[in-house]
A and B are shown apart, each in its own frame.
Chain A
Amino acid sequence: MIRPKPMSKVTIFGPKTFMKQVIEKLYDLGAVHIEDFTKKSEEEYFDIGEPYPSNEKNAEVLVKLRTLASLLKLSVKGGKASTTSIDIIEEKTGKLYTQVTDKLSRKDYLARLAKIYSKKQDEKALASLKVDLSPDFNNSNYIHYFGIVNTQFDLLKEEIEKSSPKSAAFSSNYEGFSVVGIFVDAKKKEKVDSILAGYDFSPIEGPFAKKQFPDLASKPATRFVKLGYEAEQVEKKLKQAEFDVQQLIADQSKFIIESERRLTVESEKAEAPLRFATSKNTFLIKGWVPTENLKKMDDQIGKVTDRKVMIKVDKIGKKDNVPVAFNHPKIVEPFEAFMDLYTLPSYKEIDPTFFMFLTFPIFFGFMLGDVGYGLVCLLLFMWLKAKMPGAKHMLNAFIIASVMSVVFGFVYGEYFGIEEIPMSMAVALHSEKLICQPEHAAEAGTHGEAAAESHGEAAEDHGEEGALCNLPRLLQRSHQIQDLLSIAVLFGIVHLMIGFIVGFINVYHAHGFMHAVYEKLGWLMILPLIVWLLMNFLGIIKGYVATMLSVILPQSSLPVLGVMFLIGTVLVVKGEGIRGLIEVVFMSLMSNILSYARLMAVGLASVSLAVVVNDLAGQMFAAGPIGIVGGVLVLIVGHGINIALGILSPFLHALRLHYVEFFNKFFTGGGKRFKAFGQLE
């Protein structure tokens, strides 16, 4: 749990005739992290392998499939790989590609056209057309078309001239549209109509055409479309085109996604030899296998290659950058995301994810600590998890942290910043004995006696009118600031001690016992004096935490602690040199410990803001109906902002305490993630 999965360094070596089988098998197993082969000099015996010859063709199809997916806005992540043969996929993809691009470009044209009509720009479009109305065409043997067409003019003209030799065509360009004016033999009308329909010809509406070409309007054969008719037609066509595209997506998305997957798999296999070392007749793969999978891989490869391929297991060298595969129970997994955010642990050191799982939610909860806020966060993160499956891991970590916030909310007795309810309400609930708790000693650093005294007073208050019932709690955050600070600092001391102990183990494994003593034990020996100073000299740790700690570090123990400090300093200087000395002199350890005071500070800010919002709203409620509306608004906005802050800052500060204070004590990182050949993303 606190170590990554054990890895074995393997070399797979065999004749090239078996390369394909080995690749297939390795891909199916998904257990080997392949180290890419790099050729360091020309003289080296091995060469980089060559991809399968089929790869080039497959890559083309793959590009088409991905283009299709992006054109149709499909997500190709996940999904099964299709089992259809590659040739069929290729053929179908080619056809589909032209179909889709045609449909999309037509849809695009119609959408732009619809805009022209809705913006009433069709008159302007027609005005851009210059037509030379020679008398030849200006008679009833000819019919005319004015409008916008979805093709290039030259192509259209050629086609028209072919079907009606006696014709004239004019064109202009208006905002990327071809505006055309065509005169053809009236006998050829049907033919020309069908040609134009193929290009989604859209005639300009009558009134504008009449204005532009008044002498045509007087001809008996002339018919123009009514105003508004064409706009409607285009709208209809556009709807149909959009529906067609949707239909196409519904029909073909499965094919596209599954084929894409299939070809991705194929191309990964085909390109695998690029990562191998090959000679004329042999191939060689270097990589890493989790030790638990080694035997299985050996058996399976032996089976498909008739034991003609050799697998050799080497000892892991000091300089090897071993890939790291996390090895956690399910509940710890979400916290891997925080390691990704920072840097992965290297193979040889202790993986701190488990410690983050233990302490991150506690820190987060300690800061946010409100039953109401915790529940809101919990619901929010659950909703987000359903919405964004991509961020599942991180959100799971937040869900655990939110649960801790609720737990700490009960500890502090805070419900949306409300710490007490009127006595009358508690009596009405018939549970005043159950839920009401006598007032805590409010003053900071109060000792047991004073607390007992105020217990008595509060108990007497209960009977009076307008008395308040304190909700049950262990600690009142807004009043016991000193206790809160002491607890926060205590968290820090424990956290750092864990850090040093883990560091000790890491250094012990990497460099031996003495180094561990110099570098980590030295600091552990310095720590007690600093804690003593915090208690007795600076007065940061007070109250019951101090009472508790003074059992271990009584006031009289100063000489012993002083000697320990000196020995520790000598060890640290020996281990870390002048840098260590500087750190001791400037009390870096004390600043590390005090840094945990933020646990108190952030929490205090959150509860203060909540109380202010509640008070403000309470005053507004008393001011009549308008006040009630305003009060509700203040409550929603105020608590909304506070929750947003209450997620952001506890998250950042808890993370920072781990990254800066905690990790500095033992963590180096720099590992690379284990990515098995054939492992899906």
Chain B
Amino acid sequence: MAAEIGIGTGMIALSASLAVGLTAIATAWAEQSIGAAAVGAMAEKEELFGKGLILTVIPESLVIFGLVVAILILGLATGA
């Protein structure tokens, strides 16, 4: 089974993993400072939970796009 996977497929898999992995790092990076600030604000005023949550999860779109791109790339592998 393993022998059947050519170098091309391997590259495709690798690029898909990069698409998810790098965007995940970017998301984490962006969220850490927003999250810290949001928790700080919530400690002062509890009603800010909703707004804090929204601001914190905004960068999540990055990793979602990464995932979508990864799926598109994997689509190449099955298509080829």
Contact = CB atoms under 8 A, between A and B. Distances in A.
A342 B50 contact: yes
Interface in B46-77: 49-51, 53-54, 57-58, 60-61, 64-65, 67-68, 71-72, 75
A343 B53 contact: no
Given A538-B72, A660-B58, A444 B64 contact: no
Interface residues of A, number: 24
B78 A540 contact: no
A622 B74 CA distance: 34
Interface in A636-659: 652-653, 655-656, 659
Nearest to A444: B78
A371 B49 CA distance: 31
A468 interface: no
A165 interface: no
A120 to B, nearest CB: 44
A341 B50 contact: yes
Interface in A450-507: 481-482, 485
Contacts of A598: 60, 64
A538 B61 CA distance: 17
If over half of B's interface residues share one DSSP class (helix, strand or loop), that class is named, otherwise mixed; here it is helix
Interface in A647-681: 652-653, 655-656, 659-660
Interface string A599-613: 001000000000000
B78 A443 contact: yes
A253 B22 CA distance: 61
B57 A660 contact: yes
Contacts of B65: 591, 594
Contact of B49 (A341, A443, A538): A341
B53 A597 contact: no
Given A341-B50, A660-B57, A444 B67 contact: no
A228 interface: no
A595 interface: yes
Contact of A597 (B50, B54, B68, B75): B68
Given A341-B50, A656-B54, A660-B54, A485 B64 contact: no
Contact of B53 (A444, A482, A656): A656
Contacts of A342: 50-51
Contacts of B50: 341-343, 659
Nearest to A538: B72
A594 B69 CA distance: 11
Contacts of A601: 64, 67
A444 B72 CA distance: 11
A485 B71 contact: yes
Contacts of B51: 342-343
Nearest to B20: A601
B78 A597 contact: no
A656 B60 contact: yes
A623 B78 CA distance: 36
Interface string B22-47: 00000000000000000000000000
A139 to B, nearest CB: 69
A558 B5 CA distance: 39
A539 interface: yes
B57 A597 contact: no
Contacts of B49: 341
Contacts of B54: 656, 659-660
Contacts of A595: 61, 64
A539 B53 contact: no
Interface in A582-603: 591, 594-595, 597-598, 601
A670 to B, nearest CB: 12
Given A591-B61, A656-B60, A660-B58, A540 B53 contact: no
A603 B68 CA distance: 14
B76 to A, nearest CB: 10
B64 A594 contact: yes
Given A342-B50, A343-B50, A597-B64, A481 B57 contact: no
A4 B28 CA distance: 39
Nearest to A339: B50
Nearest to B75: A539
Given A481-B71, A595-B64, A656-B60, 16 more contacts: A342-B50, A443-B78, A482-B71, A538-B72, A539-B72, A591-B65, A594-B64, A594-B65, A601-B64, A601-B67, A652-B57, A653-B57, A655-B53, A659-B50, A660-B54, A660-B58
17 contacts: A341-B49, A342-B50, A343-B51, A444-B75, A482-B71, A482-B75, A485-B71, A539-B75, A540-B72, A591-B61, A594-B64, A595-B61, A597-B67, A597-B68, A598-B60, A598-B64, A653-B57
Interface of A: 341-343, 443-445, 481-482, 485, 538-540, 591, 594-595, 597-598, 601, 652-653, 655-656, 659-660
Interface of B: 49-51, 53-54, 57-58, 60-61, 64-65, 67-68, 71-72, 75, 78
Closest 7 CB pairs of A and B: A342-B50, A656-B57, A341-B50, A659-B54, A601-B67, A597-B64, A660-B54
